[in-house]
Structures are given as structure tokens and as C-alpha cells.
Structure 1
Amino acid sequence: MSGPPSLVGKKYPAKQHARTVYSHLVHKNEVSAKGSAFFVSGEDLELYLYCDQTKPVRQNRYFFYLTGCDIPGSHVLYNTVKDHLTLYLPDIDYEDVMWSGLPLSLEAAAEKFDADEIKYASALHADLEEFHNDKVTIFTTDINKFNTKYEGFLQPGNKDFFYALDESRLIKDWYEIELMKHAAKITDNCHFAVMSATPIETNETHIHAEFLYHALRQGSKYQSYDPICCAGETCSTLHWVKNDEEITPDKKSVLIDAGAEWSCYASDVTRCFPINGDWTKEHLEIYNAVLKMQSVTKEMIKPGASWDVLHLTAHRIMIEEFLKLGIFKKEYTVDELFESKVSARFFPHGLGHLLGMDTHDVGGYPNYSDPDPLLQYLRLRRDLQAGMVLTDEPGIYFSPFLLEDTLKDPTKVKYINKDVLDKYWYIGGVRIEDDILVTEDGYENFTGITSDPEEISKIVRAGLAKGKEGFHNVV
């Protein structure tokens, strides 16, 4: 299926990406960059052990950034001196043509890909040898099963090269933004479908299936990550991917964190809803608290804003809401509760992360050894810049596992009203996540599926009104 209409007749800007990487390498280490070349191998087809079936191919992200090519067995070489990008396609396996059809020709590849030259892989060894003989440093990411035969020509693992790649991928260009908007649009439809199909969703697996079905119908054959589909107490596990628990009447709350992928670019969206369309008192209270955490921090997004500050602001809002609900004892102030770090186990992850070709995209520079429990799992630790795409995804969780130590620690439990807390365990957790582009003067939200609780109720109720007979469902 075709992608965004805005990209018809346009090429993925691989050549400009290579130039951007080089500019960052020069900025980082001019001596190292001078007279260099970049080489990256893409992923190739691999057989399962003792089987003639190939594993699914997920293209190497650095390779795709420099080529826009998803053909297995390809390679790329960029000559920084001559500003010359060469894409190498796999040699034709004529015995395979009867099974798989003719591969893309060099002429067709030249029309499709933004490269100065297209060659077959058989020419690669001689080209690398020529660079090597001319004393050109050829940077690559690593030596692996797809490029080991060229190991003698390559310099893997250079930190400055990785820095240049990651800084380049940090800021999205117009083409990448169009791909991500398209992925987000597909994801909107999938989340709408999940909310609408509760009559046939009696197991978490059904939620998973509904999302995948509608993604595939829209041409998205791959997910950005394993969908997280949970109900009731399983919503308290941040990355619950078993997706196999029954949705029984006592499980009032549903959480789905899932994002379709388009042309190697990710979306990442979380929505929560009541399975019967009616929010319970406690579920709605926590949902509205998370919604406030997101809406306030979203309005703070702009170039120069500190993501640390936004994340800690979300913690303060959660504390304020817990004081209103009585979960935190009212004899303590917001400042006292904030300094105590007691909120860390109710909101254990970061406010969000960078998004691009990976769900948790490169360039965020997290510090998982940070002694501050409020910041330890924050995946983005830098000021915002125009062109970044990130997620804004606050959450509140009631996890017996996470809170076990807190409830046994007299320095922490003194802040918590356990009788009030006991009313909220059944919710499991609530997370709301949107995909956000940082613009020159603020932000643009790629995510269109509603997060308004009343609108969500209407969608769920409309689906329930159809009954099971309103859905094509053979099992």
C-alpha cells in the first residue's frame, strides 16, 4: 500500500543524511573525520536453525538512515572527500528467482534510492580495497556476520562516529516527519478499533489481535515494538507483553500501549479505557490525574526546555492529585512529599523518550546510574531542540511488586494512607502517551486518537451497542 501522498515522487534523503553525519563527525573530531569514509552493512536473510524458513528481517537502523533501503543483504559506502554515496545491492541469485521473483534492478534502484551510484555486492571488496590502499579510514559501526569478510578494511566502534550518527538521527527532517505522521495516523485508527471492539475482546490477546489486524489492513506489516495489552492488575506491569490474561468482569480497566511502524519509522501511543464504557470512580480519578500530568507538561514543550524539569513537574502534579484523593496524607506538603521521593514507585518510569527509527530512539543520553530515583529511568536527559520527536507519557501505577518495599519502609509509608490506597489496587495502572514534534515555537502532536475520558466512553459504548454480531469474528 502507498504511503503519505506528500512523499509520492520523492526520495528518502539518504545523501543529505550522510552529509549530516559527516558534519557532526567534523564537529566532534576534525582530525578523525578528514579523508574518511563510512561503511554500514544492512541486515540479511537468515535461516532458523535446522529449518529452511528465514527469520523476519528488521533493517539495521543506521544502514537505513544512510540509504532508505530495506533490501536484505545490502551495504552502503560514503566517500566524505568526494561526497559520493554508493549503495550495494545483493548479487542476483538466479536459482532463487523461481521462488522469490526478480530482484530490483540497478536501474530501478537508481530511480528509487538517493545514491550517486548503485552497484552489486560483488564490486564491494575491490572498492574497499582501493580505499584501504589509499590510506582512507573507513568507519563502521561494528563487525558482524554480514560484514566480517571485509573486516580488514574497516574501523569499527569509533565513539565519535556513533556520536555523529546519533546526533544526526536526533533531529528529524521533513521526510522523516511525514513518515512518522503516517505511522501515527495508522496507529490512531488501530487504537480506535480496539476501543470499539470490546464485545469481542474477552482476553488480552483479542486486544492485541484487533490492533495488528487494523495495522496490517493499512499496510503496516510491522510493529514498532511488541504491543502491551493488559486489563486490571496486569496494567501495573510497565511492559506487560504476555497479553494472555482473561478479561473478567472484575477487571474494569484496560491499557494498550502499541504503535504501528511505517518504512522503519515508529509510532508509540498508549490509551486506557473502561472495558464496559463506564469509568469507575477510582479509575477516572487516576485517569484525570495522569491526563493533567500530560496536559501541563505538553504545554511546556518548546526548544530549550529541560526534559528533567518537565519530568519532575509531572511528579509534583501527581503528588498534588494524591493529596486531593487522600492517598498521600494531607498533613504533609507537596515539597515534603517531593523531597521524600515517595512518588517514585507510583510513577517509576520517565515522562517520555525520543522517538524515530527506534521506539526508544538514540541521542537521549539516559543516566541509569543516577542516584535520584525520580530521574534514574528517564531516557531523555537533555534540553529540547526543534526537530526532535518524543513521547509525552506520564503514568500512575499501583503495583504490589513496586510498592512492597515502600510500604515496609517507615520513612516512606508514613506519607501514605493505606486504607485509601487499598481502593485503587484493582486499576493496576494508567498511562497516556502521545507522539510530539518539537517545533520552532512549541510543539505539534502527531497523535489524533482522543484521550478525553467522555469521548473514550462514547467510543466504547458505541462498540458495545453493536454486540458480538456487529463484528467479523470467526473464532
Structure 2
Amino acid sequence: MKYDQIDSKLFVKNRKKFTAYMRPKSIAVFNSNDIYPIGADSTLPFEQDRDIFYLSGADQEETVLLLFPDAMDSKHREILFVRETNDHIAVWEGAKLTKEKATEVSGIETIYWLSDFDKIFFDLMTEADTIYFNTNEHYRQAVETQTREDRFIEKVKKEYPAHQWAKSNPVLQKIRGVKEPEEIAIMQRACDITEKGFRRVLGFVRPGVWEHEIEAEYLHEFIRNRSKGFAYSPIIASGGNANVLHYIENNQQTKAGDLILMDLAAEYANYSSDMTRTIPVSGKFTERQKEVYRAVLRVKDEATKMLVPGTIWAEYHKEVGKLMTSELVGLGLLDKADVQNEDPEWPAYKKYFMHGTSHHIGLNTHDYGELKTPMKANMVFTVEPGIYIPAEGMGIRLEDDVVIQEKGEPFNLMRNIPIEIEEIEELMNS
């Protein structure tokens, strides 16, 4: 790992929050992710499952966390199983968690080698009535690959058919959505690294540079600041490419007079940031570009003010739609007839702003968090309105990450990242 070690007190708190929701005499198990093959002897870089990381801080493959608050032997109430390491593995693959280091990282006293899991698990299951399975129930998930967690669930259902089953996901949705101060501090660091990348790029962009060259500038700055790199596939969309919402080819040359929409951000310690900025290739916005840009910025600023405790996510999006409708009428993109005759299921503004405005962010870019219940303090949301006008060859989106406060407006983790037209132009021409 490149990041500074996180204080294990965070993971101790997270486990306490989870176990507080568990049924009596129940066990919860969380598996690390697989290492995925590419072909021959090549694999994708390892990415830890965010749930086991959230609860333990363990950031390596072949790791299992077991929680059993009612275990008869107190040392078995929290167990972390890790891959047994040795000098040979250290030479070929680098240092792995020793039992002592695993305790230091996680705050868990009982550490076993993974080879002991089946024997210990069987013994503990004789004391338990229920097992919590960790299924992925995120509203945007579309996983086709069988995961390590899937294989574990399949095996346990076959070998322990008399036990009751429960779901970890509803608990994780509830507790992961509300961030601890330590998590917000980590996310702030990710945002600060993103700021460094953006400021670097403002001094680099000029007509003729390629989108992938801009991507390289960001990546250089992110990695030199102890990030693994991008929190998600970067979008660097110049000119009309900005009208493709998930444009990730980044293979076109920029042209004078165009805008570049950049939706990208750094991760830090597995936590995401999520930024979008739109800048002029030539260093100066045209009057029309300024007009549309200011409309998007007004919507973003007003939408941000709505993110307060008690707000309902679905209702919030309807209100943002009203703000955007007003701005689009002002820009001459919609008229009153368009609004009066709109389909309630697909309002008129959706022609130019077809995606949502906010999502939870944290260990995942589209993070776990409750969406059907009122918002709570210390939830972290993106705010990302956009206006896309293919006929004019431009798309403008602006996005910040904000923390809901107990009272008052949200706290903007990206408050130091330039967004005003005048500051962007000044920095690009300095």
C-alpha cells in the first residue's frame, strides 16, 4: 500500500456498529476479493473488497473476517484469517501481513492462518443459529462474475443447511452511509490530491494536446502524492465527446475553442473522491460557454443547499429538476410549451440533463448508503449537474463532494478546487 496506515480505532468502531445489529447467536463472515486473471500468468492489480476493508483495514488477498459476538470463548468473538506468509513469499511477492501486523492494522487480537478456517468455522457454527451472508445489493450493481463471497455462500448453504440465513447488506447500507470523522479526513486527502492534479492540468492544457496526455498529467500527480491513481475510469472529453456521459476512450486531440469536460478524481487509502470540471482548451470561455457554465454552476450551488438532514433523495432530484428547467428556459433551450407538455416520467429538462445529481461517495465511488430514508449528518454526497448540447458541440458538468452537516449548508470537501470562470481563466493564462 502507498497510503499511510489508518488508525485501527476506526475499524474497531465500524465492527461495533455492525455487531450491534446482529441477531443473537449469529456469525457474520466477510471475504476478500479474488485476484482476477487476464490470461497466461497475468492478473489485474488486486483491489480489496470494500466491506472487509471497512470492518478490518486488512488490504490483502486471501483474507476472511469472522464476527461472532456471542461466541462462548471470548477470543473467538472477532477473528481475522490471513494467508500464511514465509520468507519465500516475501522474496517473490513482498511483505504480507504477519499475525502481529494484522492485529496492529485491524485492532483484532485473534489472528489465524487461513488454512485453519474450515476447522474453526465448523466449531463456531455448532454454537450459532444464524449466519450473515455478504451479498452485493447496491442499486447499480451488475456483476456477472462469481466472486469469492459467492463461492463461500454456496458452500455454506450446502454444508450447513439447518442454519438460518441473514443479510449483511442492509446493515452495511445503514452504517457505511454515515461517515466517521476519520473517514471524512481520508476523503479530504483524496480531494486534496485531486486538487493538485487539476491545478497541474490547468497549466498544461492548450490547443493540440491529446486527451490521454491530460490523463497522464493527472496520473503523475496522483501517484506522486501516494494515491494508487484514479478512483474510477477517467473521463477526459473534449468538444462533442462531452455529450457521451461515460466517454473513457480519451484518445482525441483537443481543438482551439472547444471545452474539455474532465470527470475524474484520485483515490486515497481505498476511499474515493469524485470531481468534474469543464475548462476551455484555449484558456478563455466564449460568451455562450460562459452563459451555459454559469447556469450549471447556479444549479450546483442551489442543489448543494438542499443536502441537509431530513432530505429525501428522490424528492431532492425532483427539486433539482425544477431548478434545471428554469435555467434551460433561460438559455433558450426549452420554452414554456416544452414544459407544459412534458411527460412526467421523462421531464423536458432530461433532454439536456439526463442523469442524476447526487450519489453517496466513500469507499466506493457510488458508495453504500440508504436512499429511501431521510438523509443524515455526515453522509457524503456528490453534487453534479450538467447541461449537454450536442448541436453546439459542448457539454458542461460541474461536480463537488460535500458532507451533510447537523446544521447549516454541507461542507464542501472540494472547496479549494477552482471552479469559478475567472479563476480558471486566470490560472490557465498565468
The TM-score by the shorter chain falls in which range?
A: 0.7 to 0.9
- Which of 143, 168, 172 pairs up with 1:161? 168
After superposition, the C-alpha distances for 1:17-56 in whole angstroms (9 at most, x for unaligned) are 122123334xxxxxxx1210111111244443322x3321
The alpha-carbon distance between structure 1 residues 237 and 355, as it changes in their structure 2 partners (threshold 3 A), is: same
Letter in 2 for 1:96: I
Moved more, 344-353 or 80-89: 80-89
For residues 223 and 15 of structure 1, the distance between their equivalents in structure 2, rounded to whole angstroms, comes to 28
Letter in 2 for 1:58: E
Q: Is the 8 A contact 2:242 2:261 kept in 1?
A: yes
Secondary structure in 2 aligned to 1:316?
Answer: helix
The reply to whether residue 457 of structure 1 matches residue 418 of structure 2 is no
Q: Is the 8 A contact 2:328 2:334 kept in 1?
A: yes
Which residue pairs with 1:175 in the alignment?
A: 182
Quote the RMSD (CA, aligned, Å): 2.7
- Normalised by the length of structure 2, the TM-score is 0.87
Moved more, 271-280 or 316-325: 316-325
Secondary structure in 2 aligned to 1:180?
Answer: helix
Q: Is the 8 A contact 2:56 2:105 kept in 1?
A: no
Secondary structure in 2 aligned to 1:220?
Answer: coil
The reply to whether residue 295 of structure 1 matches residue 301 of structure 2 is yes
The alpha-carbon distance between structure 1 residues 338 and 190, as it changes in their structure 2 partners (threshold 3 A), is: farther
Q: Is the 8 A contact 1:139 1:154 kept in 2?
A: no
> Which runs of no fewer than 5 residues in structure 1 stay unpaired?
26-32, 366-380, 400-421, 463-475
The reply to whether residue 387 of structure 1 matches residue 378 of structure 2 is yes
Moved more, 16-25 or 238-247: 16-25
Superposition pairs of residues 97-246 of structure 1, within 5 angstroms: 97-141=90-134, 144-145=147-148, 148=151, 151-152=155-156, 160-199=167-206, 202-246=209-253
Q: Is the 8 A contact 1:169 1:362 kept in 2?
A: yes
For residues 273 and 213 of structure 2, the distance between their equivalents in structure 1, rounded to whole angstroms, comes to 21
For residues 221 and 433 of structure 1, the distance between their equivalents in structure 2, rounded to whole angstroms, comes to 22
Q: Is the 8 A contact 2:206 2:282 kept in 1?
A: no
For residues 343 and 269 of structure 1, the distance between their equivalents in structure 2, rounded to whole angstroms, comes to 23
Q: Is the 8 A contact 1:319 1:338 kept in 2?
A: no
1:394 shift after superposition: 0.8
The alpha-carbon distance between structure 1 residues 103 and 11, as it changes in their structure 2 partners (threshold 3 A), is: same
Q: Is the 8 A contact 1:137 1:154 kept in 2?
A: no
Which residue pairs with 1:37 in the alignment?
A: 27
For residues 147 and 338 of structure 2, the distance between their equivalents in structure 1, rounded to whole angstroms, comes to 55
Q: Is the 8 A contact 2:325 2:348 kept in 1?
A: no
Secondary structure in 2 aligned to 1:189?
Answer: helix
For residues 206 and 334 of structure 1, the distance between their equivalents in structure 2, rounded to whole angstroms, comes to 42
For residues 211 and 99 of structure 2, the distance between their equivalents in structure 1, rounded to whole angstroms, comes to 46
- Normalised by the length of structure 1, the TM-score is 0.79
After superposition, the C-alpha distances for 1:329-360 in whole angstroms (9 at most, x for unaligned) are 3x549666696821112110111101011111
1:160 shift after superposition: 3.7
For residues 148 and 251 of structure 2, the distance between their equivalents in structure 1, rounded to whole angstroms, comes to 36
Which residue pairs with 1:256 in the alignment?
A: 262
For residues 199 and 293 of structure 1, the distance between their equivalents in structure 2, rounded to whole angstroms, comes to 28
The alpha-carbon distance between structure 1 residues 173 and 328, as it changes in their structure 2 partners (threshold 3 A), is: same
Superposition pairs of residues 348-367 of structure 1, within 5 angstroms: 348-365=354-371
Q: Is the 8 A contact 1:12 1:68 kept in 2?
A: no
- Which of 307, 313, 317 pairs up with 2:319? 313
Letter in 2 for 1:432: L
Give % identity. Answer: 26
1:383 shift after superposition: 2.6
For residues 385 and 412 of structure 2, the distance between their equivalents in structure 1, rounded to whole angstroms, comes to 15
The reply to whether residue 441 of structure 1 matches residue 407 of structure 2 is yes
Higher normalized helix content (fraction of residues): 1
Letter in 1 for 2:89: D
The alignment of Structure 1 onto Structure 2 pairs a total of residues equal to 409
Which residue pairs with 1:86 in the alignment?
A: 79
Letter in 2 for 1:61: R
The reply to whether residue 18 of structure 1 matches residue 15 of structure 2 is yes
For residues 62 and 104 of structure 1, the distance between their equivalents in structure 2, rounded to whole angstroms, comes to 18
After superposition, the C-alpha distances for 1:415-462 in whole angstroms (9 at most, x for unaligned) are xxxxxxx5xx221x1111000111111311101202111101111112
The alpha-carbon distance between structure 1 residues 102 and 349, as it changes in their structure 2 partners (threshold 3 A), is: closer
For residues 174 and 201 of structure 1, the distance between their equivalents in structure 2, rounded to whole angstroms, comes to 43
